[in-house]
Chain A
Amino acid sequence: MSELRNKAQVTPYIILGIVILGLVIAYFAINPLKLGKTSETESQFVPVQNYIQDCITSVFNDAVLISSMQAGYITVPNYKYQLNPLLPFSNSLEVSSNMKVPYWFYEDANTVQHLNIPKKAFIENEISNYTKNNMQVCFSNFTSFNGYSIENLDSAKFTTKIEDEQVFLEMQSNIKINYKETEFSFKRYATSIEFPLGSLYDSAVKIMEKENNEFFFEERTIDIMSVYDEIPLTGVTLDCTPKPWIVENVKKSFKDIVNNNLEAVSLQSSNKYYSLDISNANVDSFFSYNQEWPFLLEAEPQKNGLLYPESSISKKLSSSSLTSLVCLNNYNFVYNVKYPVLVRLVKNNHMFQFAFQTIIRSNEPRVSTKAPEVIDTDSQYYICDKRINQQEINVFSSDMSPIDNAEVKYKCITQLCSIGTTNNGTLKEKFPPCLNGLLIVEKENYLPSSIQYSTNQESSVSLFMEPLIEKDLQIVLINKKTGSTKQVSNEKIYLSISDDYGYSEILQYPEQNKIKIAPGTYHLQAQVALNGNFTFKEQKITKCTSVPYPSALGLILKRKECTDVIIDPISLSNIILGGNQFDFTITKENFLGRTLKIYLIIEEKPGNQEELSNIIQSIETNHISDKFKIPEII
C-alpha cells in the first residue's frame, strides 16, 4: 500500500519532466537558426564589436584630451564682441591659430567681469556629448565589414565620470548590428582611461579660488610696477631737464618682466613670494605670458605717447624761490593694466590648461565697476531645480498679438534658469522662488525683453516684444576737420550696437550691410580701420622746459633746456582712422524708412605714432564734435 502511494507521487514529476523536454525540443525546432549556432554567431561579431569598442575608446580619449586643452570646454563659448586692434581681448586666449583656451576669469569689452569656471558635471557632459557626436566615425567605414549593417545608432547614451586619476565612460544603447540573418545587440559598453583629470581640475580650481580671493597675480603685478625702474610709478627726480618715458617702451619692458616673473610662480615653493601654497599632489605647474598675446597698458598722465615727470608739487612751488634753486620733479603715474595668464598643470604626462586675466585698475587690484556676471554652467543643479510657485507669463508683440514659442528664462542671483516656451502667448509654469529676479523673454527676430519680477508667491505678468526688422545699413564717413562726407571704400568698419536688455549686433561693414533692429535706445561703438602695410618712421620728439640758471642767478633768471626722445620705427597691418561711441534712440515714428544711415567721424591718415594715438583717444569724444550727426532711418 505504501509502495503504491510512493509510485503515485513520482508520476506527476515524470510527466512534468516530459512536458518540459517536449517544450525545449519544440522551441529549437521552431527556431533552427539559434540552435547550436550561438557561439558561431557571436564569433562573427567579435571583430566588429572589438572595432567599435576600440573606436569609441579612441573618440572618448580625444574628448578628454580636447577638454583638458581647452579648460574643460570642448566647444569654446562664443564671444559677442568683434575683436579689433582696440579690443584685442576676447573670452579666450588664442595660444595659436588653432588653439583657444577659454578664460576662467575675464573682463569683456563693456568691463563686465565674468567668472567662467565649468563645474565637473558640465565637463563630464561635454565629454559625453563629444563622444556621441563623433562616434559616427566608428561606423562611417562600416562598409569594410562586408554584409554587416547597423541600426539605432542614435539610441546611444553616454555617461562620463571624472575621478582623480581616471575618467570613466559608460554607453547604454539599443544599437543592433545585422549580419545575414543574425542580429547582435550592442547594449552596454564601459571603458576608462588613465588621465588624472579630476586631480588636475581640482588643482586648477584651487588656483583660481586663490587668485579670486587674494588677487595673487594682481598683487605681484603691482610689486613689479613698484620695483622695476623700467616702469615709472611714483618718485622724484632732481633733473632740471626731466626725461620722459615712452609708453610703448614701458609696455615692452612690462611684458618681459611679467613673463619672467610668472615663470617663477608655482603651487608649492621654498620661495614663499612666488608660492601659491596649494598642495600639489605631484602636479607640476607652469604659469606663462607670451609677448605675442594681448597686453593692455594705459598710463596717465601721458601726452603723445610719452610719460612726463611733471609734478603737481613743483607747479605749486613754481612761484616760490625754492624751485629756482632745486629742480624738483615729482611723478605719480596711474596705470590700467590687463594681461592674460596661461596656466598649465601636468601630472604623469597628462596636461590640463586654463587661462585668466590679471587686471589692474588705477594701480589697484581689479575692482569691478559693475556687478560681476557669473555664468554658472552648473545652474540646473541648484536654484533652478527648486521650482515651487506657479507663475503665468503672457508675451505679446507690440501690436498686442500673442507670441508663440518665446523662450522664457529667469535669472535669480547668478543662476539663469530656462523655464519653458510660450504657447498661444502664455506660459504657466512653476518658478524657483526668488525676490527681484530678472524675467527674460527671447525669440528669434524679436528684441529681447526683460522685467524685474519676484516669484516668491503665485502671480502673473505680461511682457511686450518688439519685432526686429531688417534694414539696409549705410555708413557715411565725416571728415572731422572739413566736415566733408564720403562713402566707405577701402575702409573696414567694426560696428557694435547693443541695448540694456540683451540685444547685440556686431558687424563688419561693408561685408555685412544689413542689420536687424527695432525702435529702442542703443549704444553704438564703431572703429574705422584701414588695412595695409603701414610703417611709421623713427620719430624724434623734443621737449623743452624752462629751468633756472645754476648758481645764485637762478633766483632771478631762467633758461630753456630741451631733451630729445626717440620713438623706434614700427610696422602695422592696419591703422585706425576714427570712429564713434554714443547712445542713440530710434522712435517708432522715424522707424519707417528702409535704410539705417550711420555717420562716423574720421581724421586724416596718421603719419606717426603720436597722431595715431590721438585718433584712438578721440573716438570716445568724437560725438561732441560739431561735425557729428546722429544715425537716421531714411
Chain B
Amino acid sequence: MNKSIISLILVILIISMPLTSAEITEKTGESVVVEPQILHADILEKQQQTPVIISLKGLTLGSILLGNEGSQYSPLYSQPAISRIENPRLTQRSPLISSVVHVPPASGTYRLSQDGRTVDLGSLIVYLKKINSEDELFGERIFVSLVKFYL
C-alpha cells in the first residue's frame, strides 16, 4: 500500500507573446527539460490540443550540496524508494491547460543513474488547449502543478 507523500515538484510554465516559450523553475533539486522549447502561437490556433513534454530528473542530495563530487559520499546519495508518482493536478484553473499526464520511466522503476547523481522521474505531458487568437496569450500565464511521490 502506498503510504506517504515525500516530495513535491513545482513546475511553472511561462507563456508569453508572440512566441510561446516554456521555462521551468528548478525546485527541490529536480532538473527538467522541455520539448518543444519554442512553440509558435499559430500552432495553438490550428490544433485542438498541443502536447508539451517535460522530462523530469531528480538530483540526489549529494549532487545538490556538492555538485559532481556529491555522488562519492554516502549517504548523500541513495536509491530512492519511490513506488509511484501520482498524476499531477492543476492547482489553479488555467484557460490554456487541458490536462497533465505523468508517464513513468520505461523501466517502470525510479532508478538512480550509474553515476549516482540523478534519478529518472519520467515525463509530464502537458496538453495545451486550442486558442482562437493570439490575443488570448497576452500577458504571462503561470501554470503550477504539484507532483506527488509515493513511497
Footprint of B on A, CB under 8 Å? 51, 58-59, 62, 65-66, 69-70, 74-76, 95-99, 130, 133-134, 137, 140-141, 144-145, 263, 266, 282, 284, 286, 288, 290, 344, 346, 348-349, 351
B53 adjacent to chain A (CB < 8 Å): yes
B10 adjacent to chain A (CB < 8 Å): no
Among B62-70, B72-80, B98-106, B133-141, the one that faces the other chain is B98-106
Other than A66-B103, A95-B35, A290-B37, give 4 A-B pairs with Cβ distance below 8 A. A346-B50, A349-B127, A351-B51, A351-B125
Interface pair B50/A286, CB less than 8 Å apart = yes
Interface pair B108/A51, CB less than 8 Å apart = no
Contact among B1, B106, B125 with A70 in the assembled complex (CB-CB below 8 Å): B106
B46-61 Cβ-contact flags toward A at 8 Å (1 or 0) = 1111110101110000
In the bound complex, CA of A389 to CA of B40 (Å): 61
Q: Which residue of B lies closest to A98 (CB)?
A: B120
Contact among A99, A137, A282 with B123 in the assembled complex (CB-CB below 8 Å): A99
Q: List 30 A-B contacts (CB under 8 A).
A: A51-B1, A58-B84, A59-B108, A62-B108, A65-B104, A66-B104, A66-B108, A95-B35, A95-B53, A95-B55, A96-B55, A96-B123, A97-B57, A98-B120, A98-B122, A133-B108, A134-B108, A137-B83, A137-B84, A144-B1, A284-B47, A284-B49, A288-B36, A290-B35, A346-B48, A346-B51, A349-B98, A349-B99, A349-B127, A351-B125
- Tell me which residues from 3 to 55 in chain B have a Cβ below 8 Å from any Cβ of chain A: 3, 33, 35-37, 40, 43, 46-51, 53, 55
| Complex interface: chain A residues within 8 A of B43 (CB) | 263, 286
A130 to chain B, nearest CB (A): 7
In the bound complex, CA of A134 to CA of B105 (Å): 12
| Complex interface: chain B residues within 8 A of A96 (CB) | 33, 35, 53, 55, 123
Interface pair B55/A286, CB less than 8 Å apart = no
A71 to chain B, nearest CB (A): 12
In the bound complex, CA of A137 to CA of B48 (Å): 36
Q: Decide if the interface of chain A is mainly helix, strand, loop or mixed.
A: mixed
Interface pair B36/A98, CB less than 8 Å apart = no
Residue in A58, A99, A351 with the greatest tally of chain B CB atoms within 10 Å: A99
Q: Decide if the interface of chain B is mainly helix, strand, loop or mixed.
A: strand
Report the count of interface residues on B (CB-CB < 8 A).
35
B91 adjacent to chain A (CB < 8 Å): no
| Complex interface: chain A residues within 8 A of B84 (CB) | 58, 137
B2 adjacent to chain A (CB < 8 Å): yes
Q: Which residue of B lies closest to A282 (CB)?
A: B48
| Complex interface: chain B residues within 8 A of A62 (CB) | 103-104, 108
Q: Which residue of A lies closest to B129 (CB)?
A: A349
The 6 A-B residue pairs with the shortest CB-CB distance in the complex, in nearest-first order: A96-B55, A144-B1, A284-B47, A134-B108, A96-B33, A98-B120
Interface pair A349/B49, CB less than 8 Å apart = yes
Q: Which residue of A lies closest to B57 (CB)?
A: A98
Q: Which residue of A lies closest to B127 (CB)?
A: A349
Contact among B47, B57, B83, B123 with A69 in the assembled complex (CB-CB below 8 Å): B123
A140 to chain B, nearest CB (A): 8
Contact among A75, A98, A263 with B105 in the assembled complex (CB-CB below 8 Å): A98
Interface pair A75/B106, CB less than 8 Å apart = yes
| Complex interface: chain A residues within 8 A of B46 (CB) | 266
B83 to chain A, nearest CB (A): 6
Q: Which residue of A lies closest to B2 (CB)?
A: A141
| Complex interface: chain B residues within 8 A of A95 (CB) | 35, 53, 55
A266 to chain B, nearest CB (A): 8
Interface pair B48/A99, CB less than 8 Å apart = no
Interface pair A263/B40, CB less than 8 Å apart = yes
Contact among A99, A141, A263 with B53 in the assembled complex (CB-CB below 8 Å): A99
